[in-house]
Structure 1
Amino acid sequence: MHRLNAWLRRHPMVVDSAWALVVLLFGLLSDVSEDGAQLWGGIVASLAIAVLMAVRRRTPDLAVAGGVAVGLGQIALNVTPGGSSIGYLVLSYTAAAFGSRWSSRLVVLVGLAAGPLTLWRFDSRPTGPDSPGVWQRVLVAALMSTPFILCWAWGRLTRVRAAYLIELEDRATRLERERDAQAKVAVAAERARIARELHDVVAHNVSVMIVQADGAAYVLDNSPQQAKEALATIAGTGRQALVEMRRLLGVLRTTETAEEYVPQPGVEELPELLEQVRAAGLPVDFATSGEPRELPRGLELTVYRIVQEALTNVRKHGGPGARARVAVDFGDRALEVLVEDDGRGTTGEQLAGGGADGLGHGLIGMRERVGMVSGSLDIGPRPGGGFRIRAVLPLRTSGDRATAPPAARRTT
């Protein structure tokens, strides 16, 4: 049944032709009672109306114009309307539902005139004292025109409803495209975030392991104890890297494993990071100022990653004997993070964070992190030698800071 309905919707002329045959049958049955010119005139009108009904949705304007011409011809030739005249109502509906504006307006005018013209031409009742009055004739004419106007109004409602459904379909399609585009943007943003996290984790921990491995190889023969300590540091750093990567890649897993992952690192974990860097052979001084307070987890992660990436660059490019200093200032409206060193590595290397053209992924990721919290980042040589990275991250005041739910403080 569903397939039949779908086929009929794709071939509307089949349905229209079936109804046209029914109207033709009614018209012929009413015409057989006539004779002479009335008989042949009725048959021609019935055939014409049936043909116009069959093609009304394929060529609605032509069908409406033909129907008006047939109707006027019946009035001009005094051909009495028969059973096929119901086709005029169908054509009135067609003009409003499928026709152009001019044909719709034409049908309204013809429909209003149909009653008076029909009454004037075919009312054979004699005039006299007992004949219907003027108001009675006006009422009859209005009643004869009413079906045409009602069919036109029905067609108009059908047209409006069809336009509304088309608009709903277009809106649904548009919303679906927007949803897909937003999903792609979200996926791209998540991939970029994961790439930044992986870079920070891998670059920092692997650089520590390389430094420790080189040191262990250097002192292996002369100081086995120092080599043993270096190997222990390598093992601990590797385990920490695995923990961080497991937490990071956990966002790609199902929600059932969300409880296994630890919170993302923040300001409180900076001392542990600095101890790890010192164990790798880079002296680091650490100082805080202002009143420490609880920060949003996203901001804390940004601070941690900035310090981690900056110290990684110092180890890579600061040169021998370099020292670093990390300062965190808790201001009233902004948090300032300063990482500087006195190394003698080339300025181009440190600007690149791994390349000589200023396009290293480390500093690019750092800028992206700072930009995500609407902060500012200054990177450049330090007066007197060395390198400096200064980030200013805005803080919300106590009056407009929203209280985050506990679940928002942990990553999945």
Structure 2
Amino acid sequence: MDRVTEERPTEPLTQHLQRISRRVRAFDQRHPLVWDLHLTGFWVVAALIDYYGDGWLNVARDRDNPGWLVLTLSLGLSVPLLRRRTHPRAVLLAIAPFALVNAWTGIALQAVMLQLLVVFHIALRRPTRNLWWATALITTPNVVLAARHPQGSPDQDIVPVLMSIVVAAAIGITVRTRRDHTEALEDRARRLEIERDQQAQLAAAAERARIAREMHDIIGHNLSVITGLADGGQYAAAKSPERAAQALHAIATTSRQALAELRRLLDVLREEDQPHEPHAELTPQPSLTDLDQLLNGVRATGLPVTTTVHGSPDLPPGRQLTVYRVIQEALTNTLKHGGPGSTAEIEMSYDEKGAVTLTVTDTGRGGPAPSHSTGGRGLPGMRERTALYGGTLEAGPRPHPEQGWRVHLHLPEETPQ
């Protein structure tokens, strides 16, 4: 039976080289001295081979120079390269006397071309203006060599050096430009990542605020209704057992409804569905068509509520939810703070362009407007919902001599997108 083997896709050569290059750069950043010692050691060995192998005699203009001088110049032109990356200008100045002696004596060691490595690092790490004096510093020994030990036209000693300097500087500038461009892209990526995280945090904060509003509206209203029903049932228990049973039944119904709404809200908050659990059953947010059910629940607690509607409530779901929640919160506050014998009145007006005016008044005890320091979510939640549609909300005690509380909402007409 033949064995079937899965062949891995061949990695492109460019990606392989880029990965190796990244590893080399990362190692060099962690251990820069290792690379500097290896490269400097290579050029020092090359210069010494040129000295011990008498290769320098093939290009020397004057062969009658002592060996110690040739050895000294070979080391002086190569050893300073160890600091070429950190102090390129100082290295070039350190090499310059050896290069000048090399030209003056006519030894003409080829190790003098190692100055081009320093030019590359000046172009890579220093301001461009430094290239002018570096060019003059490198060219001067060649002028001296052409003057003291002429060999053919002077251009043969000067022009090739100038061209080599231009090439080394161009390579350094190109590498520097690419490096700066890469750093700019990386900085942009970092800033975009920070901005993305900030946007995510803002979205999470907005979502937490929305969830807090929904939980406050659901739990706060239903608990107020349950409290009113419990108080009424306790009062009726001694005189009318049937009314007490009705109150208990209404409490149970309201509790189950609140629990179901809270469970649906918490199901929406789950980040992901469990593989062994069915998807959460989602229901739409309440709208003005559910207003009768809300008012019936409030009336069951003993709070009389009358409604007056002008116009047809043909509104988008978001605006309907805002009106619904404001009515719910206003009635909840009446149940909490209105006291016995309170009544509530709701007046709503709609126009054809989508503007809404809502006024909820009650005849309870009223009182001063709660401050934000108390930690309440009712009025801030209503104002946040209203602000989403550019509306205004006024809430406070009714003017003297009237008694009670008044909530006035106005949503302007919808602006076309």
Normalising by the residue count of structure 1, what TM-score does the alignment of the two structures yield? 0.83
In the alignment, what sits opposite 2:4?
none
Alignment of 1:390 onto 2:408: yes
Whole-Å separation in 2 of the counterparts to 1:139 and 1:290: 99
In the alignment, what sits opposite 1:370?
386
In the alignment, what sits opposite 1:159?
176
For residue 29 of structure 1, report the CA deviation from its aligned partner.
3.0
In the alignment, what sits opposite 2:11?
none
For residue 61 of structure 1, report the CA deviation from its aligned partner.
2.3
Compared CA separation, residues 109 and 301, structure 1 to 2 (3 A): farther
Report the 3-state secondary structure (helix = DSSP H, G, I; strand = E; otherwise coil) of the residue aligned with 1:260: coil
In the alignment, what sits opposite 1:103?
130
The structure 2 residue matched to 1:223, chosen from 221, 232, 240, is 240
Compared CA separation, residues 182 and 122, structure 1 to 2 (3 A): farther
Whole-Å separation in 2 of the counterparts to 1:385 and 1:232: 33
Whole-Å separation in 1 of the counterparts to 2:282 and 2:140: 82
Whole-Å separation in 2 of the counterparts to 1:118 and 1:396: 87
Letter in 2 for 1:46: S
Compared CA separation, residues 114 and 236, structure 1 to 2 (3 A): farther
1:37-52 correspondence to structure 2 within 5 Å: 37=65, 39-52=67-80
Gaps in structure 1 of 5+ consecutive residues: 126-131, 402-412
In the alignment, what sits opposite 2:90?
62
Letter in 2 for 1:19: L
Whole-Å separation in 2 of the counterparts to 1:299 and 1:118: 90
In the alignment, what sits opposite 1:234?
251
Whole-Å separation in 2 of the counterparts to 1:326 and 1:105: 86
Compared CA separation, residues 25 and 255, structure 1 to 2 (3 A): closer
Report the 3-state secondary structure (helix = DSSP H, G, I; strand = E; otherwise coil) of the residue aligned with 1:169: helix
Report the 3-state secondary structure (helix = DSSP H, G, I; strand = E; otherwise coil) of the residue aligned with 2:35: helix
In the alignment, what sits opposite 1:323?
343
Alignment of 1:380 onto 2:396: yes
Whole-Å separation in 2 of the counterparts to 1:175 and 1:118: 57
Q: How many residues matched?
A: 382
Q: Is the 8 A contact 1:13 1:57 kept in 2?
A: no
In the alignment, what sits opposite 2:290?
269
In the alignment, what sits opposite 1:407?
none
Gaps in structure 2 of 5+ consecutive residues: 1-19, 58-62
Compared CA separation, residues 40 and 191, structure 1 to 2 (3 A): same
Whole-Å separation in 2 of the counterparts to 1:359 and 1:58: 60
In the alignment, what sits opposite 1:86?
113
Compared CA separation, residues 302 and 115, structure 1 to 2 (3 A): farther
Whole-Å separation in 1 of the counterparts to 2:299 and 2:361: 15
1:272-287 correspondence to structure 2 within 5 Å: 272-287=293-308
Q: Using the aligned pairs only, state the percent identity.
A: 35
Q: Is the 8 A contact 1:111 1:149 kept in 2?
A: no
For residue 389 of structure 1, report the CA deviation from its aligned partner.
0.5
| Structure 1 range deviating more: 30-39 or 66-75 | 30-39
Whole-Å separation in 2 of the counterparts to 1:346 and 1:261: 38
For residue 356 of structure 1, report the CA deviation from its aligned partner.
11
In the alignment, what sits opposite 1:145?
162
1:332-351 correspondence to structure 2 within 5 Å: 332-343=353-364, 345-348=365-368, 351=369
Whole-Å separation in 2 of the counterparts to 1:359 and 1:16: 65
1:165-176 correspondence to structure 2 within 5 Å: 165-176=182-193
